Amino acid sequence: MNSNTSGQHTIDVLEHHSLTITQFAQACNVTETWIVQRVQGGVVHPDAGAPGAMPEGTGQPVGAGDSAPASQPPGRDVQAWRFSGHGIVRTRRIADLERTFDADPQLAALTADLMEEVQQLRALLGQRR
């Protein structure tokens, strides 16, 4: 088995498991603080079904409603956040873009998303040939 196949196998396995913030940060080669800042900025997203997850654009965690105490901001328990293995590649790409180009996190996330979309479109075009 070559290293590329092994790396893909690792990502495939991770996609089926929920990662804690510590595991996710280690897999992405960033700090937990970096992850927290990007989640709060809407750049990185915990799994939508996980406790404390904050779906895109809401600023509110999944399942947070009127029952959440007013004194405790919803979704602040970072140890309750869970991340999918699929987000590792995207998050690593965002971190690399930020470091390499001194990019704003929002711009780096947009660029990473566009890069992924181009990759998907190229794969789709390749299937049609």
Chunked into runs of 10 residues, the chain (129 residues) has average pLDDT values of: 53 72 97 96 85 48 33 64 93 98 98 97 91
Q: Whose CA is closest to 43, among 79, 92, 115, 10?
A: 92
DSSP 16: T
In what helix (H) or strand (E) does residue 25 lie, and over which residues does it extend? helix 21-28
pLDDT, position 59: 46
pLDDT, position 48: 75
Q: Render 29-89 in DSSP notation, one character per residue.
A: TS-HHHHHHHHHTTSS---TTSTT---TTT-S-TT-STTS-TTS-TT--GGG--EETHHHH
Give how far Cα 101 sits from Cα of 89, 97, 105, 107, Å. 18, 6, 11, 10
> What global pTM score does this model have?
0.71
Q: How far apart are CA 105 and CA 108, in angstroms?
A: 5
pLDDT, position 21: 96
